[in-house]
Copies of this chain bind each other. A is one copy, B any other.
Amino acid sequence: MSIVAVGSIAFDSIATPSGRAENILGGSCTYFSLAASYFTDVRIVAVVGEDFTAEHEAVFRKRGIDTQGIEHAKGRTFRWGGQYLENLNEAKTDFTELNVFEKFQPRIPKQYMDSKFLFLGNIHPALQASVRQEMNGVRLTGGDTMNFWINRTREELLHTLKLMNVLLINDTEAKMIAAESNLPRAAQKVLAMGPQALVIKHGEYGATIFFREGAFGIGRHPFRAPALPIEEVKDPTGAGDSFAGGFMGYLASQEELNREVLKRALFYGGVMGSFAVERFGTERLQQLTREEIDGRFQVFRELTHLE
């Protein structure tokens, strides 16, 4: 089933210990949609400026991604510049130019309205809520957020959390939302705010999914998926968005949404994240095959499963 993804398209300038790249296609919606496109039909909602060319759009089109929801606005596309020092787990932002993204008001094309899966990328929680309310026939909504919204728009965020079935965030964000330093306790507090399931991404250590009592199955036992130990991370940008794309894309490809399916989705999230970091920007995500993806899924299984 198709999935609608709302988020950012950006041009990134990135420096890592492996090299640098200027003004390459990036943004949460870009990584998410490319990763999800290997599992299901993806329809995106984003805004770009006049510097966004047919060549850029072809990156989405080649993966069969529906770009009717890209709004072309006057001005320049969102730009971000950052560098990763030796510790590839954290980016140092050099600059952020919101440009056309500053006034982004997501508009869902009519043809998108029959989609049953929705992913609310990291935008103002009030905009996330409005999209969710507009798409009121969806079966499952996933979403992301970040420290900026947690600190500055807490009330709106708390409202939006009630509209999400699955929230995908990292350790720091979960602890911030819950105001709780113990991660499993923070997870329970976040679940009490609305989502039925909470995916916490631990970067190089994988991810954990926590469930509300009885959501998608019996009990509330969490589940952990690994990350691949990677000797050469070329560019960590977009790993988390690619994780979300693999996770949500796999869910949208399944008939039933039960615990086992969510667990497998967690593995596919890790798989797509592991591909994303192998090359700069979206390069690797543009040219995968489903065979490569399922091959790596098997590697993830062998990495964690006893006989």
Contact = CB atoms under 8 A, between A and B. Distances in A.
Interface of A: 86-88, 181-185, 187-188, 202, 204-206, 208, 210, 221-226, 229-233, 260, 263-264, 267, 299, 301-307
Max chain B CB contacts within 10 Å: which of A184, A260, A263? A184
Given A206-B205, A226-B224, A231 B185 contact: yes
A117 to B, nearest CB: 22
Contacts of A188: 231
Contact of A182 (B181, B224, B231, B301): B231
A184 B228 CA distance: 9
A304 B210 CA distance: 13
A230 B306 contact: no
Contacts of A306: 260, 263-264, 267, 301, 305
B224 A304 contact: yes
A100 to B, nearest CB: 37
A226 to B, nearest CB: 5
Given A182-B231, A226-B224, A304 B302 contact: no
Nearest to A208: B229
Contacts of A303: 221-224
Contacts of A299: 221
18 contacts: A87-B181, A182-B231, A184-B230, A185-B232, A188-B231, A205-B206, A210-B229, A223-B304, A224-B226, A224-B229, A224-B303, A225-B304, A226-B304, A260-B306, A264-B306, A267-B306, A301-B306, A304-B304
Contacts of A260: 306-307
Given A303-B223, A306-B260, A204 B183 contact: yes
A243 to B, nearest CB: 16
Contacts of A232: 182, 185
A214 to B, nearest CB: 17
Contacts of A222: 229, 303
A302 B218 CA distance: 13
Contacts of A302: 221, 223
A40 to B, nearest CB: 20
B231 A184 contact: yes
A67 to B, nearest CB: 34
Contacts of A86: 181
Nearest to A305: B305
Nearest to A225: B304
A183 B224 contact: no
A229 to B, nearest CB: 4
Nearest to A233: B182
Nearest to A182: B231
Nearest to A200: B229
A88 B221 contact: no
A204 to B, nearest CB: 7
- Of A87, A182, A230, the most chain B CB neighbours within 10 A belong to A182
